A and B are shown apart, each in its own frame.
Chain A
Amino acid sequence: MKSAWSGFKAIVIKDLVIELRARQVLPTMIVLGMLIVFILRLVVEPSSGRAEMPMMAAAALWIAFLFSGLLAQERSFGVEQQNGCIDGLWSAPLDAGTIYLAKLLANVVILSIFEMVIVPAVLLSFSLRVTGRWLDLVIVLALGNLGISSVGTLFSAVVQLARTRGALLSIVVLVVLLPMLIPASFALLVLFGAMPEEVGGSGTLAFVGSFRAAQGYLLAFDAVFIVACWLLFGVVVKE
């Protein structure tokens, strides 16, 4: 256990130090994110009413997260490409699952740094206010972050292993994350004040429209996929 923790910590710190020092991916992520927000802000009709703004803002935020997230994920195993460093990881007495969790944490941290830049950008360009619900916003974004990173880290290793193009990574990650986006957007819309918190569900579906249920769903989604990816990681990198 001690050795697993030692290796885990080492990989997380190493990834973050390299990223902060070399700035391989964060600047591009931020610029891409800002461009996406800008483009979406522009394509919203200039004369649109206040109703459309929160919707476009939620869209802009998640799209920026997804696509910049892809860049971050490509990095997670792309950084091991040079100098055969990946062999250094695989030949170490470290369980594959531990390596996955370490890479996951590094990705989550990097995406969080991105988040701290992009969220104010979105709020500003779409003239939104999130009064008093900052904690909820942080939670929703963190849950989204975890979901995006969990799937992305796994398939980044696949892409690196198969020496294939990043385009494959994009379609795989995006399709798997699709279900998460529905409650995620709903949650954001509630936070941006565009939707009431509890919309009565019709018929059998009691939790349609519940904000807490949306958060619960995101939590469940993250739990399922982190565990699944963690377990399958060892399988996928077995050569």
Chain B
Amino acid sequence: MITETVRSTDVALSIRSVSKAFTARPVLRDVSMTLRRGRATCLYGINGAGKSTLLRIAAGLLRPDAGSVSIEGRDVREHPEEAKRRLGLISHASMAYAELTVLENLRFTADLYCVSNRAVRIEQLLAETGLGPFRYDCAGILSRGLLQRLAIARALLHEPSVLLADEPFTGLDVQALEHLIGIFETFVRQGGTIFMTTHDTRLGLRCCDRVVVLDQGVVLLDKTKKEIDPERFAEDYLSYARSQN
């Protein structure tokens, strides 16, 4: 359990008693957690544990049956526009239109979020993600790694304070992985908050300083990296995951 007291101004993402059921079986049961600004939290769990569902609820894509989520104090359901403006979403799909070029995709996102200094921000992100040379290429012909970079650029364009990432490491090669981790680290260093889900214990532990394990919709473990032994955790998690199959 997080023992330090948290000031409300420090809270970037607050999940309160969220429950969700799609059919008779509940996917999330009374899940609560509070994420402080400037921290990265990793959510582990086997398939079906409810990780993606929780993330989608946090992003405002799904409505919880009970409970609420706030981004920097703004409830996602009651003040959706203010909350979503502060959110960036990276999912395992790139959310890019295949027929549009990289530049057009970014311009579209900038307009969706009404980014004021659109041209400047786009150039900045093209440089940061190394997509400059590909700006006139249609998203349909990009490789998986490049598409992921486009997804990152898309997510960071409007300078969000909270980044939600659903399995961001899937299908990336070593170079792309290192690049992504670098971007995450920079983001956190600049005061942003990350909430990601992943299967990969090693990568998750590298990026994040807090781990949460979700099992059948319930929080099984919620500790900072300092409180656990990373090596043992990785082993234990692996054997736990195997035992669930």
Contacts and interface: CB of A to CB of B under 8 A. Distances in A.
Contacts of B60: 90-91
A186 B84 CA distance: 48
B95 A84 contact: yes
A209 interface: no
A92 interface: yes
Contacts of B111: 6-7, 9-10
B62 A239 contact: yes
A79 B61 CA distance: 18
Interface string A1-22: 0110011011100100110011
Contact of A14 (B80, B83, B100): B100
A49 interface: no
Interface stretch (B86-94, B122-130, B175-183, B185-193): B86-94
Nearest to B89: A91
A93 interface: yes
Nearest to A238: B63
A87 B104 CA distance: 18
A93 B81 contact: yes
Given A7-B112, A239-B62, A88 B100 contact: no
A239 B96 contact: no
A142 to B, nearest CB: 27
Interface residues of B, number: 32
A84 B82 contact: no
Contacts of A93: 80-85, 112-114
Contacts of A9: 111
B119 interface: no
Contacts of B30: none
Nearest to B118: A6
B165 interface: no
A94 B99 contact: no
A83 interface: yes
Contacts of A131: none
B109 interface: yes
The main secondary structure of chain A at its interface with chain B is: helix
Contacts of A3: 81, 113-114
Contacts of A95: 81
A94 B89 contact: no
Contact of B93 (A79, A84, A92, A238): A84
Interface residues of A, number: 28
A82 B138 CA distance: 14
Contacts of A124: none
A63 to B, nearest CB: 30
A117 interface: no
Contacts of B96: 83, 85
Contacts of B139: 83
Contacts of A92: 84, 109, 112-113
A10 B106 CA distance: 11
B146 interface: no
A94 to B, nearest CB: 6
Contacts of B97: 14, 18, 79, 82-83, 85
B99 A2 contact: no
The listed residue with most B CB atoms (<10 A of its CB), out of A2, A7, A95, is A7
A87 B62 contact: no
Contacts of B108: 10, 14
Interface of B: 59-63, 80-85, 87, 89, 91, 93-100, 104, 107-109, 111-114, 139, 154
16 contacts: A3-B81, A7-B114, A10-B108, A22-B99, A83-B93, A84-B91, A87-B61, A88-B89, A90-B60, A90-B61, A91-B59, A92-B109, A93-B80, A93-B113, A238-B63, A239-B61
Given A14-B97, A91-B87, A93-B112, 7 more contacts: A6-B112, A6-B114, A82-B98, A85-B97, A88-B154, A89-B112, A91-B84
Closest 4 pairs (CB-CB, A-B): A84-B93, A10-B111, A3-B114, A88-B95
